[in-house]
Chain A
Amino acid sequence: MTSAAPSGACPLTQQQLIDEYFIEHRTKILDIAAFLDRFDRASEHNAEEDFRIRAFTKAVAALLDSENGGRMRAVQMLLSDPRTDLLPELDRKSAFGAYESR
């Protein structure tokens, strides 16, 4: 079924997107599945509650929710520090990739 392209649309149709991009995204989702299986097969289960893996699994769940303004924004927010207060001093040079609430 086709309809007029809404504002913000990708020029390609859904069918064209599948034909053009399915394989590369199939690869990506298999990589995620393999990573989570690898995590379960780890030689020692010592980080089941690590803040990064918790955020990661929430982000994976968010992929199935097309409501509430889009998956991309939802995942970005799940991986972000929601606060605006300043650190009193530098604790480290680099970020971790997910927010650890204390």
Chain B
Amino acid sequence: MDYIDHHAHMTSRTTDDYDQMALTGCRVLTEPAFWAGYDRATPEAFAAYFDALTDFEPKRAAKAGIQHFTWLSLNPKEAEDRALCASVLPVIERFLDKPNVLGIGEIGLNRVTRNEVATFEDHVELAIRHQHLPIMVHTPHLEDKLKGTRVILDSLASEQRVQPARVMIDHAEEHTLPMIKEQGYWAGLTLYPQTKVSPQRAVDMIEVFGADRICVASACDWGPSVPWAVSHFIREMRRRGHPDRLIQKVVWDNPSEFLGQSSNFKLTSQTAAEVAR
């Protein structure tokens, strides 16, 4: 089955991974800006990274038959340095007219500090100032997820210009998904060994909370992760007897609807033809 992976940090992965993703049905992926495992120290370092996300990675993906889109930001793990944030935001603006840029992301919180919240709100303002670009929000991991999700939702609710339908709250889990959906946001479930959600739990959440406004992704990066994890979700859905039309809603129709809010989200004729087969 064809699928879209809305969250894959391919800069950290090999060309073989693109091939394997394509072989499992991935036709489109979107790559949010990520933390490199070390702190980028200068705006120039971010510019080089954004150049890779908007030029090198789309070409590498295309060789595997995958369309590549991206989201730009300082990652929440880089958000503590307010001076760096101030110097990088103008760099982000310079790249917003690149054809594969969908919006601002992944922004959000890591340890839920005052500076992280301030940097998050700067990014939200940037998105709104640019015709309310779609926003992808990272919620913190492990014990910080509940707290961070609550703070993020409170922050977004305090900004009346935010349109929840143009925002995806990613890395949702069982204890945060209800509050995300109740407030009208899209929710992302990330299929990641150990620290996020297993394919089995993702299917449980589809069964319990319904499939509306939920997308699934691998969130693959330089850590232990599985770039073709969405295919594991598809297999688990089938294992339980869920119909293909429901699976397609989660892995293709839903991400198409959310991502399609960006005017840059256009499938090439080749992708469209392959999907229509």
Asked if A pairs with B, the answer is yes
Contact B150 A89 (CB under 8 A): no
Main secondary structure of the interface of B (DSSP, over half): helix
Minimum CB–CB distance for B84 against chain A, Å: 13
Chain B hits for A95, CB < 8 A: 111, 140-144
B interface vs A, CB < 8 Å? 77, 80, 110-117, 140-147, 150-151, 154, 173-175, 195, 201, 204, 207-209, 239-242
What residues of chain A lie closer than 8 Å to B151, measured between beta carbons? 84, 86
The 23 listed contacts between A and B (C-beta, < 8 Å) are: A11-B241, A12-B240, A20-B239, A76-B174, A79-B142, A80-B143, A80-B147, A81-B146, A83-B147, A84-B147, A84-B150, A86-B151, A87-B113, A88-B114, A89-B80, A90-B115, A91-B111, A93-B77, A95-B111, A95-B141, A95-B143, A96-B143, A97-B195
What's the Cα separation between A40 and B115 when bound, in Å?
41
Q: A48-89 vs B: 1/0 string, CB under 8 Å?
A: 000000000000000000000000110011011111101111
CB atoms of B143 and A89 under 8 A apart:
no
Q: How many A-B contacts are there with CB distance less than 8 Å? A: 84
With beta carbons under 8 angstroms apart, the residue of A9, A20, A76, A90 that contacts B111 is A90
Residues of B within 8 A of A76 (CB): 146, 173-175
Please state if A9 and B175 are interface contacts (CB–CB under 8 Å).
no
The A interface, classified by DSSP as helix, strand, loop or mixed, is loop
A85 to chain B, nearest CB (A): 9
| Contact partners of A84 in chain B: CB under 8 A | 147, 150-151, 154
The CA-CA distance from A76 to B145 in the complex, in Å, is 10
Taking a contact as CB atoms under 8 Å apart, the answer to whether A86 and B143 are in contact is no
Instruction: For the complex, give the distance between the alpha carbons of A89 and B27 in Å.
Output: 41
Complex Cα spacing A8 to B144, Å: 27
CB-CB under 8 A from B114, the residues of chain A are 86-89
User: Chain A nearest CB: distance from B78 CB in Å?
Assistant: 10
Question: For residue A90, which residues in chain B have a CB less than 8 angstroms away from its CB?
Answer: 80, 110-111, 113, 115-116
Which residues from chain B contact A94 at a C-beta distance below 8 Å?
141
Contact A80 B113 (CB under 8 A): no
Would you give the shortest CB distance from B157 to chain A, in whole angstroms?
13
Task: Tell me the nearest residue of chain B to A84, going by C-beta.
Answer: B150
